[in-house]
Amino acid sequence: MDKLADEIWIFDGDTVQFLGLPFSTRMTVVRLSNEELWVHSPISLTNSIKAQLQKLGNVAYLIAPNHLHHLFLSEWIDHYPDAGVYGTNEVIKKRDDLVFTGSLNDELNWPWAEGIDQELFSGSPLMEECVFFHKGSETLIVTDLVENFSGKSFNYWQKGVAKGVGILAPHGKTPLDWRLSFMFGKADARHHLDKVLAWNPKILVMAHGEIVRENTDTFLAQSFKWLAKGD
């Protein structure tokens, strides 16, 4: 567990194999003003994580922000049965074996809204992701919308693939296949991006890759250059 800023922590988990690459896993935990814990993209639940979370507060919300980040939800639900579970429509459809409290696609009075803003990033038939902004630390929290791998755990050919699809630090961005899937939905995506950039985040934390702590505005401008008009 590493403290990212006041009332926000990150937990790095084991790697999982995805498309031939070892994907690092990371979850972000925010402690709300009422001492409840908001858990974004839960990783494998270990006894160590349970003990650390117990010291921070009560796990109240489990967030599955897109259809790829659901692998460990069931074990968290089993251990924290009173926690609310929220996911996008895509992940709710995919995990019909789980009971969700609500959909991140809906317009609701979110119980964490005092401390966390959110925006559903859409525009692709293959990918939608709910991104979040922790107001107190000015941190933008994403999963796969930006990937920024250091490459340290990649072999030669894996590093070449990562660079080719645009997910190698310090030039990380949305993976190439997902960027291409926005071909006919860029106007929609730009609308969401404008809202995200208006938050003016100072820190960018993603599920996969190097955290951006300096010149975050410059990084985001470069990372989303593919959404510029005319591109």
pLDDT tens for each residue of the chain, 231 residues long: 899 999 999 999 776 655 556 667 899 999 999 999 999 999 999 999 999 999 999 999 999 999 988 989 999 999 999 999 999 999 999 999 999 999 999 999 999 999 999 999 999 988 899 999 999 999 999 998 998 877 676 666 677 777 877 778 899 999 888 899 998 899 999 999 999 999 999 999 999 889 999 999 999 999 999 997 655
Containing structural domain, residue 83: 2-224
- Residue 76 falls inside a structural domain: yes
229: in domain: no
Q: For residue 231, is it within any domain? A: no
Query: Do β-strands 116-121 and 102-103 pair in parallel, antiparallel, or remain unpaired?
Result: unpaired
Tell me if 55 is assigned to some domain.
yes
State the sign of the Cα–Cα–Cα–Cα dihedral 154, 3, 170, 118: positive
Q: How many CA atoms lie within 13 A of 49 on its CB side?
A: 21
Is 36 a domain residue? yes
Asked if residue 74 is part of any domain, the answer here is yes
Q: Tell me, yes or no, whether 230 lies in a domain.
A: no
Half-sphere exposure of 86 (CA within 13 A, CB side): 25
**Total domains present in the chain:** 1
Output the CA angle 41-42-43, nearest 5 degrees. Answer: 115
User: Is residue 105 assigned to a domain?
Assistant: yes
Hey, how many other C-beta atoms are within 10 angstroms of the C-beta on 120? 18
Residue with tokens 């988990």: 13
User: Residue 184 belongs to a domain with what CATH number?
Assistant: 3.60.15.10
Query: Rounded to the nearest 5°, which phi and psi values hold at 109?
Result: -85, 85
What's the pTM value of the predicted model, to 2 decimals? 0.92
